[in-house]
């Protein structure tokens, strides 16, 4: 054990840990959920602290020995070597003060160790005076949210959505000549091709990719340098530009400073905007997953137009049953994303005066959504969609028996009489083609031409 002091007095904590007194207080005060902010966020905190140290060093404000030690410690945080020492619960002190101090203390104590000192000897490297120099929780936490979320979108979500879109496009080509019945209001509609249906899904995902990318662009504007309220108090006037330049170097991404640092600290609207785009993508994916479940329903008493790859037994009591488990999983993921977005919306509107104090829960839910959506989409694509097959004959049978083919008679008989043909076909159990020929509305050759399901699907 070792004893540390903070502004409230002495704190006892285990001798081996890198975190310090303020983190220990948070650990004691917030035993709420056991949930911690994820690896990506901790990495972003390391990036912020590394960039700040380099900026302050370049401005001649940080001793070179301290700079080198902090650089090494922050780099280790970026690499994930000290994740076990980031212990603060998600539900913590407002704005993320405890989370920021957790990073400051871990980096300071590791830097002290690098300088051959004893943990807690903050005369060598101080969490606030050195690691947190020219910074505040109020600008470092939103900056860490934006860096981590931007990288999660770029590295995980967009590639996953593109793989989904490409697989849907490939399937739309594969199934392009398979004619089937369309359905509106869950009732029979005019014929269409299975490839057209899946092509619609691919386009919807493509549009969501565009929306997510547009939303993620707002994450590039960072409030770092605004410090506590936006004035940049205790920071060199050049710090803002220096630290953003370092973040760009470290990440390789085109981050920039907020146009107005006061607004950037008062609000977390970039996180809100991104979450809203994820909610939109989730709604698209729910629609696709539900359609896959419907189209594969059966295998004998449902639509059974699609055959899904069997990945595991579907029942603990019904032998041989196989369920659309990957589509069900994707639905659950998307429901969670929508719930996360509601939390983020409530937390974002809680901004008051110069600050939003709900940032830790925003960070957790946003990164959680990005993680499960990325992994859920990939699992659905790889384990389900890529191996889906079509029952061509069943699709064709539905296309030929749908009563809505009577729509093709409108230009010949008019809407009213075409409806009578449709109703008679339903009453008698015959096809529209059979009724048309029996009533001598069209001969067999013309009926085949006018009512050909494939022709009715357009180009």
- Annotate the chain with three-state secondary structure: CEEEEECCEEEEECCCCCCCHHHHHHHHHCCCCCCECCHHHHHHHHHHHHHHHHHHHHCCCCCHHHHHHHHHHHHHHHHCCCHHHCCCECCCCHHHHHHHHHHHHHHHHHHHHHCCCCCCCCCCCCHHHHHCCCCCHHHHHHHHHHHHHHHHHHHHHHHHHHHHHHHHHHHHHHCCCCEEEEEECCEEEEEEEHHHHHHHHHHHHHHHHHHHHHHHHHHHEECCCCCCCCCCCCCCCCHHHHHHHHHHHHHCCCCEECCCHHHHHHCCHHHHHHHHHHHHHHHHHHHHHHHHHHHCCCCCCCCCCEECCCCCCCCCCCCCCCCCHHHHHHHHHHHHHHHHHHHHHHHHCCCECCECCCHHHHHHHHHHHHHHHHHHHHHHHHHCHHHCEECHHHHHHHHHHCHHHHHHHHHHHCHHHHHHHHHHHHHHCCCHHHHHHHCCCCCHHHHHHHCCCCHHHCC
Report yes or no: 278 and 223 within 8 Å, Cβ to Cβ.
Answer: no
Among the listed residues 172, 257, 315, 369, the single catalytic one is 315
Report yes or no: 6 and 64 within 8 Å, Cβ to Cβ.
Answer: no
315 is catalytic: yes
CA 282 – CA 336 distance, rounded (Å): 9
State the residue for tokens 């977005």: 341
| Per-residue CA distances from 315 to 98, 320, 321, 323, 324 (Å) | 47, 8, 6, 8, 12
CA 419 – CA 407 distance, rounded (Å): 8
Residue positions annotated with a catalytic role: 315
């Amino acid at each position: 054990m070792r004893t540390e002091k903070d502004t409230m007095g002495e704190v006892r904590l285990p001798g081996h840990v890198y975190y310090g007194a303020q983190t220990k207080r948070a650990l004691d005060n917030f035993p709420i959920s056991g949930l911690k902010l994820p690896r990506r966020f901790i990495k972003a905190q390391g990036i912020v602290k590394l960039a700040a140290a380099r900026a302050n060093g370049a401005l001649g404000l940080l001793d070179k020995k301290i700079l080198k030690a902090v650089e090494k410690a922050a780099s280790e945080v970026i690499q994930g070597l000290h994740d076990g020492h980031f212990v603060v619960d998600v539900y913590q002190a407002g704005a993320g003060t405890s989370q920021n101090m957790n990073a400051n203390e871990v980096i300071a104590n590791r830097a002290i160790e690098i300088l051959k000192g004893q943990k807690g000897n903050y005369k060598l490297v101080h969490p606030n005076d050195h690691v947190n120099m020219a910074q505040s929780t109020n600008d470092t936490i939103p900056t860490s949210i934006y860096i981590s979320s931007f990288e999660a979108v770029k590295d995980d979500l967009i590639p996953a959505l593109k793989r989904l879109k490409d697989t849907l496009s490939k399937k739309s080509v594969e199934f392009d000549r398979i004619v089937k019945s369309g359905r509106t209001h869950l009732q029979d509609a005019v014929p269409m091709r299975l490839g057209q249906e899946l092509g619609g899904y691919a386009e919807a995902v493509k549009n969501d990719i565009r929306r997510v990318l547009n939303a993620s662009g707002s994450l590039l504007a960072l409030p770092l340098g605004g410090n506590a309220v936006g004035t940049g108090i205790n920071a060199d006037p050049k710090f803002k530009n220096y630290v953003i330049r370092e973040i760009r170097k470290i990440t390789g991404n085109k981050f920039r400073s907020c146009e107005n640092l006061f607004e950037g600290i008062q609000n977390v609207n970039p996180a809100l905007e991104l979450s809203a785009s994820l909610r939109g993508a989730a709604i698209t994916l729910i629609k696709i997953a539900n359609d896959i479940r419907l189209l594969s329903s059966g295998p004998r008493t449902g639509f059974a137009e699609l055959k899904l790859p069997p990945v595991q037994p579907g029942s603990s009591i019904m032998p041989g049953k196989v369920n659309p488990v990957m589509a069900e999983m994707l639905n659950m993921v998307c429901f969670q994303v929508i719930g996360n977005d509601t939390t983020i919306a409530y937390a974002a509107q809680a901004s008051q005066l110069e600050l939003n104090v709900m940032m830790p829960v925003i960070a957790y839910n946003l990164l959680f959504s990005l993680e499960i959506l990325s992994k859920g989409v990939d699992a659905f694509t790889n384990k389900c969609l890529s191996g889906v097959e079509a029952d061509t004959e069943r699709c064709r049978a539905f296309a030929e028996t749908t009563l809505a083919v009577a729509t093709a008679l409108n230009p010949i008989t008019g809407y009213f009489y075409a409806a009578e043909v449709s109703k008679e076909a339903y009453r008698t159990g015959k096809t529209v083609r059979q009724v048309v020929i029996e009533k001598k509305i069209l001969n067999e050759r013309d009926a085949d031409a006018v009512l050909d399901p494939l022709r009715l699907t357009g180009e």
